[in-house]
C-alpha cells in the first residue's frame, strides 16, 4: 500500500460544514451515505415495531388485540418496510456510498449529482408509500393478484411509491458500476480491490437488471386498478401467475442484493481480526459474480404451489441447488481464513462470526424449500419465515451491524463503548435464535404464515418466539443507544483503530471531504496481514 | 477526442437511413403475405436487422470497446432469460 | 489503468464514464420494456385468434408513418452528434431542434391513433390485446416525451456556448437515449401492427 498509516486530521473532516443545506444539497458521497444510513435505520425501527406488534398478537392462539384485517396490515407493513425501506438500501446506499470511493482510491462516485438525486428520489418514494397508509395494504409484501387488484387499499399510490424506491436503487447501482470500472486509483487492478467492492459490483448488476422488471410490475398493477387493464385479471384473459413471474424475477435476485454487500463486509472484517490474509481471494471475488448470475435462474422456486407447469417446476427446483455452491465457497474460505489466525473478538468480529453461523443455518434450510417434494409441505408455513429471517436478519442484518461497528470510528471519528457493544451483541444473538429457531419447528408441524389465529398446538413455539423477540429488541435498542452515546461522548478515534490495510483506514477519522490529499498509487492487495509486506501482527 | 467525422461517415449515416426505410417497407409488405408462423420469424428478423443497424452505426457501437459491448449485450441475455423462464411455464401448463 | 489521473478531472475518463452510465441506464430500459414484451409473448401464445382479429383493427398506415418519423429522427440525431464532434454548435442545435419537432409529430400521430381507437370503443380494458397495445405504446410515448425534454436541454446548453469539438458529452449521451427510443419502436411496429 502506498500511503503511510495516518495523516494528520483536519478536525471534523467531511463533517466540518454544518447547517441543513450542507446536507440537503451535498454531493459528497460520504454525507449521502450517512443520510441513507439514518433514514434506513429509522425504517428498521418502525418495521421492528410492527414485528413486535405481530409477536404480541401471536402470544395467544386467538386474535386477542387486533382484528384479522389489522394483523394483515401489520405483516404487510413489516415486510414491505423492512425490505424496500431498510434492507435493500441500507448497506449499498449507506455503507456502500461511504466506502466504495474510498476503497478504490477515488474522491467520489462517478456521478455525484445522480447520487444526491437517488437519495431524494428515495425520500419521495417513502413519502408516497407513507401517503398510501391512509388506506393501508393488507396483501402481504408480495402483493399477489388478484387480491391486490381488488382490495380496498391504496394500491396505486403504494405502487407508485415503490416504483420511485426502485428508481433510487437503479440510480445507485448504475453509479457504482461506472465508478468501479472507471475511477479506480492507479495500480488498483481488479484483483487488488477489496472484496467489499466485488460484492458491491455484483450487487449493482442485480439492481440494474432486476429492478426495472418489478417497476413495470407495479406499474401494471396500478394500471389494473386505475384503468382496468387485463394483464393479471383472469376474467379478461389475464394471468395472475404472470404477476408472480414478474414479481419474483426481481424479488429473488433482490435477496442477493441484500446478502452480497453483507458478505463483502464479512470478507473485510474476518482477515482484520484474524490478522491473516483472506483465504481464496479470487474464489470469493468470483463467487460474488456467480451468485449474482445464478440468482436470476431460480425465481420460480417461490411459485411451486401456484400452478406452474410441471416442467417449469422441475427446472426451477433443479437450478435452485446450484446457488448454494458459490455461497458455500465463501463460507469455506472464511473459515479457512480463521484457521490458525490470531483471532480477537471485538464487536465487528463478533457480528461477523455470528453472520457466518446464522447465515449457514438459514442457507442450509434453503434446499428443503428448493426441493419440490418438501416445498409442497413447507410453502407458506413458518419454516419459510424462519428461513428468510435466518438469512436476511441472521445474515444481512448481522453483516450490517458488523459493518456499523467496524466503520463507526471512521465515519464519526469516535469510538463506541466496546463492553456495551459486546453485551448488546450477546442479547441480540440469544434473542435472535430464541425468536426464530422455534419457527422452524412450528413450520414443520404445519403452522401457516400470515395468520393471526392458529391451532393451540403451536402456542408453545409462539410464546418462546415472542420472548426471544423481546430479548432481541432490547439487544438492538442497547446497540443503537451505544452508537448514540458514542456519537455524543465517545473518545476520539484514531485513523486506523483496527490496524487494517484497505485505503479508508489510511485516512483520518473522520476523513476529509476529498478523501485523499493525493490519489494513492496502489501496489498490493489489502489483505497482507501477518505477512512480511503487511503490518506487524 | 478523436471520432469519425469525415464526409464518409455522414454518407454512411444516410445510407443506413435509406436501408432502414427500405427494411420498413419490406416488413410492411411481407405482412400482407400469409406465411403462417414464418411471418413472426420474418418480422422479428427484419426488426433485429434494423435494430442492429441503429445500434452499430447510429449509436456507434461498432467503434466501441469490449466493455461497452458487454453493457449492450448482457441485458439482452437477461431479457431472453425472463422470456424463456416465463414461457416454459405459461406455454406448457 | 497505469498512468496516474485525477478521476473526474480527466475529461477522457469523464466522457467514458458518462457513456458507460448511459449504456447502463439503457440496460434498465431493456428490462423495463422487456417485461412488457414478455407479457406480449405470453398472451400471444395463449390467444392467437384474438391477436389476429384485434391487430387488424390498428391503423397500419399511421403506425408505419410513425416508424418513418422515428427513423428520420434518429438520422437527425446522429447528424447532430456528428456536427458537434466537428465543433459546429449551431448545426447541432438545428438538427436536435428538427429531432424534437419529429418527436412532436410522432406524438401527434399517436394522439390521432389513440383517439381513433377510443372512438371505436377500444380501450385499455377492452381485452388483453388492447391492454398490451395501450401500455406498450403509452410507456414508449412517455419515453418520447422525456427524450424531447432531454434533447431540448441539450439545445439550451449548446446555445449557452457550453459545447465544443472536444467537449459535448450531454449531446452524445442524449443522442444514445433517443436512438434507444427508436429501437423500441422498431420492435413495436411489427409486433403490434403487422403480425397477427
**Closest-CA distance of chain C to residue A286, Å:** 21
Rounded Cα distance, C18 and A416, in Å: 40
Q: What is the mean pLDDT of chain C?
A: 93
**Closest-CA distance of chain A to residue B17, Å:** 31
Question: A418: cis peptide before it, omega within 30°?
Answer: no
**Closest-CA distance of chain C to residue A231, Å:** 6
Q: Are A395 and A259 in contact (CB under 8 A)?
A: yes
At A11 the pLDDT is 63
At C189 the pLDDT is 96
Rounded Cα distance, C94 and A226, in Å: 41
Question: A146: cis peptide before it, omega within 30°?
Answer: yes
* Chain C residues closer than 8 Å to B82 by CB: 31, 34-35, 38
Tell me the pLDDT tens digit for each residue of C29-69: 999 999 999 999 999 999 999 999 999 999 999 999 999 99
A111 touching C (Cβ < 8 Å): yes
Q: Rounded to whole angstroms, what are the CA distances from A105 to A192, A412, A479, C6?
A: 11, 20, 31, 10
Q: What is the mean pLDDT of residues C175-192?
A: 97
**Which ranges in A132-252 belong to alpha helices (H)?**
147-150, 155-182, 195-227, 240-251
- Here the cell at position A110 is 462517478
Q: What's the gap between Cα A60 and its chain centre?
A: 31
C74 touching B (Cβ < 8 Å): yes
- Best residue of A245, A289, A292 to probe chain B, by most B CBs closer than 10 Å: A245
**Closest-CA distance of chain B to residue A308, Å:** 5
Tell me the pLDDT tens digit for each residue of A346-356: 999 999 999 99
B88–A309 C-beta distance less than 8 A: yes
Tell me the pLDDT tens digit for each residue of C124-174: 999 999 999 999 999 999 999 999 999 999 999 999 999 999 999 999 999
- Cβ within 8 Å of residue C17, ≥6 positions away: A110, A111, A178, A182, A183, C8
Nearest to C183 among B13, B51, B78 (CB): B51
Nearest to B27 among C19, C75, C190 (CB): C190
pLDDT string in tens for chain A (537-residue length): 344 444 444 468 999 999 999 999 999 999 999 999 999 999 999 999 999 999 999 999 998 999 999 999 999 999 999 999 999 999 999 999 999 999 999 999 999 999 999 999 999 999 999 999 999 999 999 999 999 998 888 999 999 999 999 999 999 999 999 999 999 999 999 999 999 999 999 999 999 999 999 999 999 999 999 999 989 999 888 999 999 999 999 999 999 999 999 999 999 999 999 999 999 999 999 999 999 999 999 999 999 999 999 999 999 999 999 999 999 999 999 999 999 999 999 999 999 999 999 999 999 999 999 999 999 999 999 999 999 999 999 999 999 999 999 999 999 999 999 999 999 999 999 999 999 999 999 999 999 999 999 999 999 999 999 999 999 999 999 999 999 999 999 999 999 999 999 999 999 999 999 999 999 999 999 999 987 766 655
Query: Domains plus CATH for chain C?
Result: 32-194 (1.20.120.80)
C131–A208 C-beta distance less than 8 A: no
A299 touching B (Cβ < 8 Å): yes
A174–C28 C-beta distance less than 8 A: yes
- The residues facing A492 across adjacent strands are A414
Q: Chain A: residue nearest C32 by CA?
A: A212
Residue B5 binned pLDDT confidence (cut-offs 50, 70, 90): confident
B92 touching A (Cβ < 8 Å): yes
Nearest to C30 among B3, B27, B76 (CB): B76
**Closest-CA distance of chain B to residue C110, Å:** 18
- The residues facing A427 across adjacent strands are none
A115 touching C (Cβ < 8 Å): no
At B93 the pLDDT is 86
CB hemisphere CA count around C90 (13 angstroms): 0
At A530 the pLDDT is 81
Domain-wise residue ranges, chain B: 1-59, 64-93
Residue numbers of A between 361 and 400 with CB closer than 8 Å to C: none
- Per cent of chain B over pLDDT 90 is 83
Q: Chain B: residue nearest A293 by CA?
A: B78
Phi, psi of A414 (to 5 degrees): -125, 160
CATH architecture of A29-506: Up-down Bundle (1.20)
CB hemisphere CA count around A95 (13 angstroms): 31
Residue B35 binned pLDDT confidence (cut-offs 50, 70, 90): confident
Long-range interactions of C106-110: CB distance < 8 A, separation 24+:
C106/C66, C106/C69, C106/C70, C106/C73, C106/C144, C107/C141, C107/C144, C107/C145, C109/C62, C109/C65, C109/C66, C109/C69, C110/C66, C110/C137, C110/C141
Q: What CA dihedral angle connects A325, A256, C42 and A379, to 10 degrees? A: 80
* Chain A residues closer than 8 Å to C141 by CB: none
Question: Angle, nearest 10°, between helix axes A347-364 and A398-412?
Answer: 160
Q: Are C147 and C106 in contact (CB under 8 A)?
A: no
Residue B3 binned pLDDT confidence (cut-offs 50, 70, 90): low
- Per cent of chain C over pLDDT 90 is 92
- Regarding predicted confidence, which is higher, A324 or C7? A324
C156 touching B (Cβ < 8 Å): no
Residue numbers of A between 508 and 537 with CB closer than 8 Å to C: 519, 521
B90 touching A (Cβ < 8 Å): yes
**Closest-CA distance of chain C to residue A191, Å:** 13
Q: What's the ipTM?
A: 0.93
Residue C2 binned pLDDT confidence (cut-offs 50, 70, 90): very low
Tell me the pLDDT tens digit for each residue of C87-125: 999 999 999 999 999 999 999 999 999 999 999 999 999
User: Which partners does chain C have (≥3 C-beta pairs < 8 Å)?
Assistant: A, B
B81–A297 C-beta distance less than 8 A: yes
- Cβ within 8 Å of residue C25, ≥6 positions away: A174, C177
**B86 pLDDT above the threshold of 80:** yes
User: Which partners does chain B have (≥3 C-beta pairs < 8 Å)?
Assistant: A, C
At A249 the pLDDT is 97
Residue numbers of B between 7 and 46 with CB closer than 8 Å to A: none
* Chain C residues closer than 8 Å to A106 by CB: 7
At A494 the pLDDT is 95
C38-C39-C40 Cα angle (round to 5): 90
Nearest to A182 among C16, C123, C135 (CB): C16
First to last CA, chain B: 55
- Here the cell at position A250 is 426481481
* Chain B residues closer than 8 Å to A297 by CB: 81, 85
Q: Chain A: residue nearest C8 by CA?
A: A110
A242 touching C (Cβ < 8 Å): yes
Nearest to C124 among A182, A227, A237 (CB): A227
Amino acid at each position: 500500500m502506498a500511503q503511510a498509516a495516518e495523516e494528520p486530521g483536519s478536525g471534523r473532516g467531511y463533517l466540518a460544514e454544518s447547517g441543513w443545506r450542507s446536507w440537503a444539497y451535498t454531493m459528497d458521497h460520504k454525507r449521502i451515505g450517512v443520510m441513507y444510513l439514518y433514514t434506513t435505520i429509522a425504517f428498521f425501527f418502525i418495521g421492528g415495531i410492527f414485528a413486535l406488534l405481530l409477536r404480541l398478537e401471536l402470544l395467544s392462539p386467538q386474535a386477542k388485540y387486533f382484528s384479522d384485517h389489522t394483523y394483515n396490515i401489520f405483516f404487510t407493513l413489516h415486510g414491505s418496510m423492512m425490505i424496500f425501506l431498510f434492507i435493500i438500501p441500507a448497506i449499498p446506499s449507506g455503507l456502500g456510498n461511504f466506502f466504495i470511493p474510498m476503497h478504490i482510491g477515488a474522491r467520489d462516485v462517478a456521478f455525484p449529482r445522480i447520487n444526491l438525486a437517488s437519495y431524494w428520489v428515495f425520500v419521495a418514494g417513502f413519502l408516497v408509500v407513507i401517503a398510501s397508509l391512509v388506506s393501508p395494504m393488507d396483501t402481504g409484501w408480495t402483493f399477489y393478484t388478484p387480491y391486490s387488484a381488488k382490495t380496498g387499499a391504496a394500491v396505486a399510490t403504494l405502487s407508485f411509491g415503490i416504483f420511485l424506491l426502485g428508481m433510487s436503487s437503479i440510480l445507485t447501482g448504475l453509479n457504482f458500476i461506472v465508478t468501479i470500472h472507471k475511477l479506480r486509483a492507479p495500480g488498483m487492478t481488479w484483483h487488488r480491490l477489496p472484496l467489499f467492492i466485488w460484492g458491491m459490483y455484483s450487487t449493482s448488476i442485480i439492481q440494474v437488471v432486476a429492478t426495472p422488471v418489478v417497476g413495470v410490475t407495479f406499474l401494471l398493477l396500478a394500471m389494473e386498478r386505475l384503468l382496468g387493464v387485463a394483464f393479471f385479471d383472469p376474467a379478461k384473459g389475464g394471468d395472475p401467475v404472470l404477476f408472480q413471474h414478474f414479481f419474483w424475477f426481481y424479488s429473488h435476485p433482490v435477496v442477493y442484493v441484500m446478502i452480497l454487500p453483507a458478505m463483502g463486509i464479512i470478507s473485510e472484517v474476518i482477515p482484520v481480526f484474524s490478522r491473516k490474509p483472506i483465504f481464496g481471494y479470487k474464489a470469493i471475488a468470483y463467487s460474488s459474480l456467480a451468485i449474482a448470475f445464478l440468482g436470476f435462474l431460480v425465481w420460480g422456486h417461490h411459485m411451486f404451489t401456484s400452478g406452474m407447469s410441471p416442467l417449469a417446476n422441475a427446472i426451477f427446483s433443479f437450478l435452485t441447488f446450484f446457488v448454494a455452491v458459490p455461497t458455500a465457497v465463501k463460507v469455506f474460505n472464511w473459515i479457512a481464513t480463521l484457521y490458525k489466525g490470531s483471532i480477537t473478538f471485538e464487536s465487528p468480529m463478533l457480528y461477523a462470526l455470528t453472520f457466518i453461523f446464522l447465515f449457514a443455518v438459514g442457507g442450509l434450510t434453503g434446499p428443503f424449500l428448493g426441493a419440490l417434494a418438501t416445498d409442497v409441505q413447507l410453502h407458506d408455513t413458518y419454516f419459510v419465515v424462519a428461513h428468510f429471517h435466518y438469512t436476511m436478519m441472521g445474515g444481512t442484518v448481522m453483516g450490517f451491524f458488523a459493518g456499523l461497528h467496524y466503520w463507526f470510528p471512521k465515519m464519526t471519528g469516535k469510538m463506541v463503548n466496546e463492553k456495551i457493544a459486546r453485551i448488546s451483541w450477546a442479547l441480540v444473538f440469544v434473542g435472535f435464535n430464541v425468536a426464530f429457531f422455534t419457527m422452524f419447528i412450528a413450520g414443520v408441524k404445519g403452522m401457516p404464515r400470515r395468520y393471526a389465529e392458529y391451532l393451540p398446538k403451536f402456542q408453545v413455539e409462539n410464546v418462546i418466539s415472542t420472548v426471544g423477540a423481546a430479548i432481541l429488541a432490547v439487544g438492538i435498542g442497547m446497540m443503537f443507544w451505544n452508537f448514540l452515546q458514542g456519537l455524543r461522548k465517545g473518545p476520539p478515534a484514531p485513523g486506523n483503530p483496527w490496524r487494517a490495510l484497505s485505503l479508508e483506514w489510511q485516512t483520518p477519522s473522520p476523513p476529509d471531504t476529498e478523501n485523499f490529499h493525493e490519489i494513492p498509487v496502489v501496489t498490493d492487495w489489502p489483505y497482507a496481514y501477518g505477512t512480511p509486506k503487511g503490518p506487524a501482527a | 477526442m478523436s471520432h469519425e467525422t469525415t464526409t464518409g461517415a455522414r454518407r454512411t449515416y444516410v445510407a443506413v437511413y435509406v436501408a432502414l426505410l427500405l427494411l420498413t417497407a419490406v416488413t410492411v409488405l411481407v405482412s400482407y403475405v400469409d406465411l403462417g408462423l414464418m411471418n413472426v420469424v420474418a418480422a422479428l428478423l427484419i426488426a433485429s436487422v434494423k435494430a442492429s443497424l441503429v445500434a452499430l452505426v447510429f449509436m456507434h457501437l461498432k467503434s466501441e470497446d469490449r466493455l461497452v459491448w458487454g453493457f449492450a449485450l448482457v441485458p439482452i441475455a437477461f431479457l431472453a432469460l425472463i422470456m424463456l423462464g416465463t414461457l416454459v411455464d405459461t406455454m406448457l401448463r | 489503468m497505469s498512468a496516474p489521473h485525477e478521476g473526474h478531472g480527466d475529461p477522457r475518463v469523464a466522457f467514458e464514464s458518462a457513456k458507460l452510465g448511459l449504456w447502463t441506464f439503457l440496460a434498465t430500459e431493456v428490462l423495463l420494456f422487456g417485461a412488457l414484451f414478455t407479457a406480449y409473448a405470453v398472451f400471444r401464445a395463449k390467444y392467437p385468434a384474438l391477436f389476429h382479429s384485434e391487430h387488424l383493427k390498428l391503423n397500419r398506415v399511421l403506425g408505419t408513418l410513425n416508424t418513418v418519423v422515428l427513423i428520420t429522427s434518429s438520422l437527425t440525431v446522429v447528424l447532430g452528434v456528428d456536427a458537434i464532434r466537428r465543433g459546429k454548435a449551431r448545426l447541432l442545435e438545428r438538427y436536435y431542434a428538427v429531432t424534437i419537432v419529429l418527436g412532436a409529430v410522432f406524438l401527434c400521430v399517436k394522439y390521432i391513433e389513440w383517439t381513433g381507437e377510443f372512438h371505436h370503443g377500444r380501450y385499455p380494458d377492452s381485452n388483453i390485446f388492447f391492454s398490451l397495445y395501450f401500455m406498450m405504446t403509452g410507456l414508449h410515448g412517455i419515453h418520447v416525451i422525456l427524450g424531447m425534454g432531454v434533447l431540448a436541454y441539450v439545445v439550451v446548453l449548446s446555445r449557452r456556448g457550453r459545447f465544443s469539438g472536444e467537449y459535448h458529452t450531454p449531446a452524445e449521451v442524449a443522442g444514445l437515449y433517443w436512438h434507444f427510443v427508436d429501437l423500441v419502436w422498431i420492435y413495436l411496429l411489427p409486433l403490434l401492427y403487422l403480425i397477427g
